[in-house]
Structure 1
Amino acid sequence: MATFESFSSEALGFLEGLKANNTKDWFAAHKTTYETQLKDPSKHFADGMAGALQDLTGQGHRSKIFRIYRDVRFSKDKTPYNAHLHIAFIPQGNAVQPPMWFFGLSPEKLSLGCGVFQYDKNALDAFRTAMAGPKGAELIQLTEDMRQDGFRIEDPELKRVPTGFDKDHPHAEALRRKGFAVWMDAGAPAFVIEPNLIERTSVLFGKLMPVFQLLSRDM
């Protein structure tokens, strides 16, 4: 199989068109473009990117390409399709809920991220225990440093420190989190149509390695 180089300008055109014409009729008329320019290339990119992340982290990864079809059963927004490409890369191992890598391509921009959106109950308990110790100070410092460097990090989800911890705990900022993810905007969507996409994306993911390393330790 040939090495994946990049997505095509037709792939970006498809996403732009879908955003402007998010209907079943339009999608049906352009389904061949979707399958040949976006769906199939996404699989090749995901396979290659998973290998690059193994090289970067020393851990095997599997990929998850999110469906283009929206679940509209419980949503007021009834548009049937996602006008973006989202791919997650999950490290393999014994961690209960490891940090993941995220690739998000929309008609407006390319965003890359690393972390955990929200821990489930068991993993959240372990996260909070870690945040109450020295690791909490590391996460608070990492948040400050990465924000200064232009990365996007959401504020803690809770207004108060959770039950079981001192309300004036010095790591309150970390304890009030239900997850921790850091995002960067890689620029215009045209980033993905230039050669060596996997290599260039891996370089950018490398800037998020401090997040991956911190969340991978002792949890």
Structure 2
Amino acid sequence: MTVIDASIISFLKQLKKNNNREWFADHKEKFQEEQKKLKSFYELLQLEMEKHDAIEKLKIFRIYRDVRFSKDKTPYKVHMSGHFVREGKERRGGYYLHIQPGESFLAGGFWAPEKEDLFRIRKEFEMDTVEIREIISEENFQKYFGKIEGDSLKTAPRGFDKTHPDLDLIRMKQFIVTRKFTDKQITSANFLAEVNNSFKAMRPFFNYMSDVLTTNLNGESILD
């Protein structure tokens, strides 16, 4: 399936209004039909992505919510989504596509870096941000994403200068890029190409972060 069928949006809207096990049981065949169509779209997207990156696998997320520790006990997600894992230890970052009526988006980057990785990124920024600032100011990056997003500390991390000129980057705890889409955009004929082009535009950012996270401060590889 080269386009996302509007019926997927319609189904998710109905699910939001009827988020209970009885309704879902009565409409499970419809859900499976829509899920199959969307998976086909993701698989075709992966084929296009493999022309510019090495993708190890595609993961389609389950529709069922984990409600054990949530005040919201509705049993089902009101979106469908998938994640593309890059191949090999030398390739960091991942691609995510989220389909939800009125709230669809794609994203990529580093959502919850491990403590050691976060420190390594911050030390890189402390030494030099010329390259990363060139990447995030590049025309395609600005066109699709605008900026790096994510939670930040209110002040400098422990051990870092509070007056550092690149403190805006050093304070960050997440490094994510996103692009939002309307329902009209996600059901358009060129949506697959738009998503693929957006993911392709992430590559310089991923390449930079991968290089940082697979080397020490002297630029020497830390991979086995």
TM range, normalised to the smaller chain? 0.7 to 0.9
* Equivalent position SS for 2:51: helix
CA, structure 1 residues 77+137, in 2 after alignment: closer, same or farther (shift >3 Å)?
farther
Aligned to 1:13: 10
TM-score normalised by L of structure 2: 0.81
Aligned residue pairs: how many?
A: 211
Contact 2:107-2:177 at 8 Å conserved across structures = yes
**Residue in structure 2 matched with residue 46 of structure 1 by the alignment:** 42
**Residues 3-82 of structure 1: pairs in structure 2 closer than 5 A:** 4-37=1-34, 39-57=35-53, 59-82=54-77
Deviation at 1:36, TM superposition (A): 1.0
> Hey, what does 2:126 align to over in structure 1?
132
When the two structures are superposed, what TM-score results if normalisation uses the length of structure 1? 0.83
1:151 to 146, 164, 171: 146
8 Å Cα contact 1:62/1:90 also seen in 2 = yes
What CA distance in whole angstroms lies between the structure 1 residues aligned with 2:58 and 2:143? 30
- For residues 7 and 150 of structure 1, the distance between their equivalents in structure 2, rounded to whole angstroms, comes to 22
Question: Is 1:184 equivalent to 2:188 in the alignment?
Answer: no
Cα distance in structure 2, aligned partners of 1:139 and 1:24: 47
Aligned to 1:163: 158
**Whole-Å separation in 2 of the counterparts to 1:34 and 1:93:** 34
- CA-to-partner distance for each residue in 1:140-196, whole Å, 9 max, x for gaps? 56556756876364354211211122222222111111121011113x224343446
Aligned-CA RMSD value: 2.5
- Percent identity, aligned pairs only, is 29
Distance 1:190 1:33 in 2: 22
Deviations 1:89-109 (A, max 9, x none): 1211114x8211111110114
1:105 aligns with 2:105: no
Which runs of 5 or more residues in structure 1 are unaligned?
none
Gaps of 5+ in 2: 214-224
Give the drift of 1:208.
Answer: 3.3
Contact 1:114/1:211 (8 A) holds in 2: no
Looking at structure 1, the residues matched to 109 and 204 of structure 2 have their Cα atoms a distance apart, in angstroms, of 10
State the match for 1:85 in structure 2: 80
